Amino acid sequence: MNFFEHQDEAKRNTRKLVLLFILAVIVIIIAIDGVLLILFGNLLSDPQTVTPNTLGGLLVANTTVLLFGTGGTGAAIGLASLYRSASLKDGGGSVARQMGGVPVDTDPKDPLRQRLRNVVEEIAIASGVPVPEIYIMEQEPGINAFAAGYSPSDAAVAVTRGTLESLNREELQGVIAHEFSHIFNGDMRLNIRLMGALFGILLLAIAGRRILSGSRYSSRSRNNGGNAIILFAVALTAIGYIGLFFARWIKAAVSRQREYLADASAVQFTRNPQGIAGALKKIAVHSNGALLEKDSEEIGHMLFGQGSSAAMLATHPPIVERIQRIEPDFREEALVEIAKRLSRRTRKEAEQDERESKKSSKRTPFDPRNIIEGIGQPDWERIVAAAALAATLPGGLLSAARSTEWAPELLLCVLLDDDEKIRDQQLFTIAKKLGAESEAQVRYLLTSTLQIRPEQRLPLLEIAFPALKRRPEAFIHRMLETVTDIIHQDGKIEVFEFLLAKVISLHLTDAMNPSQSRTSGNQTLVAQAQPVRDVIAILADHGHRDIEMVKRSYQMGLQSVGLELSPLQLPNDWPSALDNALANLDLLKITEKERLIGALVETILTDAHIDTQELELLRAIGSALHVPLPLLSNNA
């Protein structure tokens, strides 16, 4: 399956899980109502004294018990789930911090942490998504990792200390590629929503235990009310764990299949089965395996490996089965020999890995027609190209991009005009909007950095994103206003200016409101025919100088997407027209977005040539549609 099929399947799984969760809640409510009727309904009357005159009152009393049980249980589960979901509204970083994760420094001196950052940045750049926040669970000696968040804009990747110290570079790359698969395939969004939903069911078991704990004195009481409360607490605890049992079963059924898919994607990303397989083998023989010291009940379905020792309803397939899916000839007996020869890697070996990786990095061209297959599944050539591109970035620029204090100013510096008069106006706008200190930092970067090549601009943005979104929300809004003002300063908008403004605005908006972000809607291409025509026309116009070739590529795009051919009409204000069109097209079904991206690729390939402007505009359109386009090359 490709990116769009994975997204569509994740959406269907979400609907199934919502239905199953509702059914589980209904079963729990019925069970609690039954317990309440048995315990408290019987207290209201003696069957021998029931008469026609008292029957009505008895029915009213029992109905009251049912209404109390149904309303109370439903409200308790719903409110608890809403509370937990609200606590996760900040996205993946909040989950990582709750699990004891510590952010990786922007310029780590530890070679193991630097290697982790390099691997994460390489895969992010190759995939065309912002670099996620990076965390280490310092107190966890086992080998494990997870990705959390609602979208790539608020994603966080966390690994344990055991992962850093036990895995070599190719194994770490396999694990990180596995986690990126969860980011692309919609698993992250599903997983974090499950955390909130399951908390409501778990609350029943917790409430039952609390009632039992606080009602010990009732065991000495001879009145039926005290005994009934204790019996109800026992029943509530039992029902809570029954609900949790079914919730775990649903979670395990989905998680197991998604883990197999993520393992396969990791092999495709890295084109190196030994990486992910080697990590799994080390888990199998490691003294701590993948186990976490911290309670992993809530995030068990997110982890790379089984985080707890519970065998029943395990969220992950057996390790040996996962290895055999990658290496069909592998036999479990081989683990004994692996354990014997396995030795802990040293920091010196980690540094050697990094040097060898940089030496082997080289740019490799690819077929642009494979863009669809590469979305959410960057192949080895793109990862190597990303590593090579990252290696060309001067150390000063990298440090600025990773720094909370310098990342905004670096991105503003990239947008400055070559004309000195216009640049002075832009600097004045920066000082007015963000303050004199920001303007001074931009001037410093402008005079002290090396020339930034066009192909380095987007990777710098993707690397800078984690630092940028750590700034206060008020500052982020002012920065977005500043970006808009300075790109309009010269009276015209270049394609890259539009791209940068669009990508920054989209990702920061999603990051500030992660739980509200969405990747698709229910619209069709036919229903949004005019926005489709506008986007194809604008892309065709920016990709070709000859008007006849523009018309030809426009017709090619319409034909590819299945719309009726029509005369070319170019909008006077293309940025505004494109903004409006993309806002409508982001509501397309995910399968319709796949067709649209395919048509856009055909549009730019009409002349069998791709230039940087076309690539940047295509990346901007992809970002606006929540479709992360992989690292593209105009040398293809």
| 208 and 131, same domain (yes or no) | no
> H/E/C letters for each residue in 307-357?
CCCCCCCCCCCCHHHHHHHHCCCCCCCHHHHHHHHCCCCCHHHHHHHHHHH
Pairing of strands 101-103, 133-137: antiparallel
| 121 and 39, same domain (yes or no) | no
Is pLDDT larger for residue 258 or for residue 554? 554
| 134 and 73, same domain (yes or no) | no
Residue ending a domain, choose from 341, 363, 385: 341
Spatial separation of the C-alpha atoms in residues 189 and 91, rounded to whole Å: 9
Instruction: Give 595-628 as a DSSP string.
Output: HHHHHHHHHHTTTS---HHHHHHHHHHHHHTT--
User: Which of 130-144, 344-358, 403-417 is predicted least confidently?
Assistant: 344-358
| 33 and 155, same domain (yes or no) | no
| 73 and 206, same domain (yes or no) | yes
pLDDT tens figures, 418-467: 888 999 999 999 999 999 999 999 998 888 766 677 777 788 888 888 88
| 271 and 175, same domain (yes or no) | yes
| 243 and 113, same domain (yes or no) | no
Fill in the amino acid letter for 415: L
Residue 579 within a domain: no
CATH classification of the domain holding 273: 3.30.2010.10
Determine contact, residues 269/181, Cβ cutoff 8 Å.
yes
32: Cβ contacts below 8 Å, ≥ 6 apart: 69, 73, 235, 236, 239
Which residue range is the domain that position 219 belongs to?
Answer: 3-92+192-250
The CA R_g of the chain, rounded to the nearest whole Å, is 28
**Highest-pLDDT range among 87-91, 128-132, 345-349, 427-431:** 427-431
Residue 265 within a domain: yes
Residue ending a domain, choose from 452, 467, 493: 493
Domains in the chain: how many in total?
3
Residue ending a domain, choose from 341, 368, 383: 341
- Residue 356 bears catalytic tag: no
Give me 219's structure tokens: 């065991």
- pLDDT-derived band at 298 (thresholds 50, 70, 90) equals confident
Q: What is the pLDDT of residue 528?
A: 93
Asked if the model's pLDDT at residue 277 lies above 80, the reply is: yes
CA distances for 574 relative to 363, 495, 542, 616, angstroms: 33, 10, 10, 15
Instruction: Give 566-585 as a DSSP string.
Output: ------SSHHHHHHHHHHHH
Residue 358 within a domain: no
| 87 and 98, same domain (yes or no) | no
Residue 592 within a domain: no
pLDDT tens figures, 160-187: 999 998 899 999 999 999 999 888 877 8
Q: What is the pLDDT of residue 299?
A: 82
| 289 and 206, same domain (yes or no) | no
pLDDT tens figures, 472-487: 888 888 988 998 898 8
Catalytic residue among 179, 298, 462, 592: 179
Helix (H, G, I), strand (E, B) or coil at 157: strand
Q: What is the pLDDT of residue 10?
A: 63
Angle (CA) 531-534-536 rounded to 5° is 110
Partners of residue 157 on adjacent β-strands: 134, 147
| 78 and 124, same domain (yes or no) | no
- pLDDT-derived band at 158 (thresholds 50, 70, 90) equals very high
Helix (H, G, I), strand (E, B) or coil at 187: helix
Residue 603 within a domain: no
Partners of residue 102 on adjacent β-strands: 136
Residue 533 within a domain: no
Q: What is the pLDDT of residue 297?
A: 73
pLDDT tens figures, 199-251: 877 777 666 666 666 555 444 444 555 565 677 667 777 777 777 676 677 67
230: Cβ contacts below 8 Å, ≥ 6 apart: 212, 215, 218, 219
Q: What is the pLDDT of residue 310?
A: 62
Residue 16 within a domain: yes
| 196 and 243, same domain (yes or no) | yes
Asked if the model's pLDDT at residue 572 lies above 90, the reply is: no
* Orientation angle between helical segments 395-402 and 407-415, nearest 10 degrees: 120
| 9 and 129, same domain (yes or no) | no
pLDDT tens figures, 10-63: 667 667 767 777 787 788 888 877 877 776 655 444 555 545 555 455 666 677
Pairing of strands 133-137, 156-160: parallel
pLDDT tens figures, 322-337: 999 999 999 888 888 8
Is pLDDT larger for residue 610 or for residue 267? 267
